[in-house]
Amino acid sequence: MENQFMKMEDIAQMANVSKSAVSLAFSGKPGISPETREHILQIAHQVGYMPKSRASHQKKGDKALLFLVCTSSGIVFEQYDQQPFFKSLIYFIEENCRQKGYKLIFSTVNVEFFEEEIKHVFEEKYSDGAIVLGTNLTRWQIEEIHHIMPNLVVLDTCFDTLPVQFIGINNRIGAYQAGAHLCQLGHTSIGYIASNVRIHNFEERQRGFMEALEEFQIDIPTSRRLSVAPTILSSQESLKKQLTEYLSDDRQLPTAWFCECDYIAISAIKTLTEMGIKVPEECSVIGFDNINESLIITPELTTIHVEKERMAELAVDLLTRAIETGPKMQSKITVDTRFVERKSCAPPSPRDLNN
């Protein structure tokens, strides 16, 4: 039973945390550890406390959508709202919800405790439907969420055999565009810097890029395929080590590198610069995502723009229509990307062509 006399300050005192930490725990927004969030929620459950925002939604029938993120150590962090790609996506989702008269509620689940936490999220029944960030989720995890919440749209991944609505990125066309651009510039010695955390998006980007190179009859040997962390914007010692080992065998560096995301591309530019290798004069670099930081790096990053605004618009539209008119036909929508040419790519120098 709901405790009408308990206040947020009381929960904060009982949990020995700040009032803002309690607010973050109930909103699902990042900023506190999973352990602190769970500790606060357990205390609130034990004393029968319910935040006013949730209680008022249930009583007054306010329209609300849940934005669910499953965090992990590899690609989607607890502070996901500070990661450039997700930050932009969330902004556009909130804007579209507001325009349609829906409140957006946030909830976070730790992938390590998926089974226990996912049930707890939906037991509260305070949303009419859910938008799930599927970037790092498995087929089974999405199936479990859909079983609990039929009104569902999953963003940033796709499983064709699931009867679930998906909004995904056309990763293959974007990476194909990147590969074709490098080949058309005249590059024949090309390297590939992959993420050491594998997800659906990266696998599709690899397929698209290799398809472009095959058309130009260009191959990437194993020695020119590197792997680094996908969420670091600074230079990486692991990348510097791989590049140094490559050069130690008396080989010339590739004249161009494709990176599976902008994080990797920006990290690569900084690492190459520290090694005294000029971009793009000695080595071109191309990324994927077009995060805001791609305009800040020197040189500005040539990349693939992901239509985050369009993805958010489609997700909210599909979900609200399903809620208001009832589910009819499930849809899986793939949104094309757009090539953005900036200053990190150039034709190979005559010296490189002669080697």
pLDDT at 32 exceeding the cut of 80: no
Selection from 70, 22, 68 nearest residue 43 by Cα: 22
CA–CA dist 112, 2 (Å, integer): 30
Range in 50-54, 221-225, 276-280 with the lowest mean pLDDT: 50-54
pLDDT at 1 exceeding the cut of 50: no
What is the predicted pLDDT for the residue at 28? 65
**Mean pLDDT (whole number) for 27-44:** 75
What is the predicted pLDDT for the residue at 19? 72
Element holding 166 (H helix, E strand): strand 165-169
Most confident of the ranges 89-93, 196-200, 299-303:
299-303
Q: Please give the share of the chain, as a percent, with pLDDT higher than 70.
A: 88
In degrees, rounded to 5, the angle at the alpha carbon of residue 94 between the alpha carbons of residues 35 and 336 is 105
What is the predicted pLDDT for the residue at 45? 74
Q: How confident is the model at residue 135 (pLDDT cuts 50, 70, 90)?
A: confident
Per-residue model confidence as pLDDT tens digits over 48-64: 776 654 444 444 457 88
CA–CA dist 351, 355 (Å, integer): 7
pLDDT at 26 exceeding the cut of 80: no
What is the predicted pLDDT for the residue at 80? 64
Residue of higher predicted confidence among 164 and 30: 164
Mean pLDDT for all residues in the chain = 87
Q: How confident is the model at residue 9 (pLDDT cuts 50, 70, 90)?
A: confident
What domains are there in the chain, each with its CATH number?
Answer: 8-169+309-334 (3.40.50.2300), 171-305+340-354 (3.40.50.2300)
Element holding 129 (H helix, E strand): strand 129-133
pLDDT at 44 exceeding the cut of 90: no
pLDDT at 140 exceeding the cut of 70: yes
Reduce the secondary structure of 146-163 to three states and give it as a string.
HHHCCCEEEECCCCCCCC
What one-letter code names the amino acid at 44? Answer: A
Residue of higher predicted confidence among 114 and 79: 114
What is the predicted pLDDT for the residue at 73? 66
CA–CA dist 77, 79 (Å, integer): 5
Indicate left, alpha or beta for 31 from its phi (over 0: left) and psi (-120 to 50: alpha).
left
The pTM (predicted TM-score) of the whole model is 0.79
Q: How confident is the model at residue 339 (pLDDT cuts 50, 70, 90)?
A: very high
- Determine contact, residues 335/314, Cβ cutoff 8 Å: yes
**Mean pLDDT (whole number) for 104-126:** 78
Range in 32-36, 37-41, 329-333 with the lowest mean pLDDT: 32-36
What is the predicted pLDDT for the residue at 330? 85
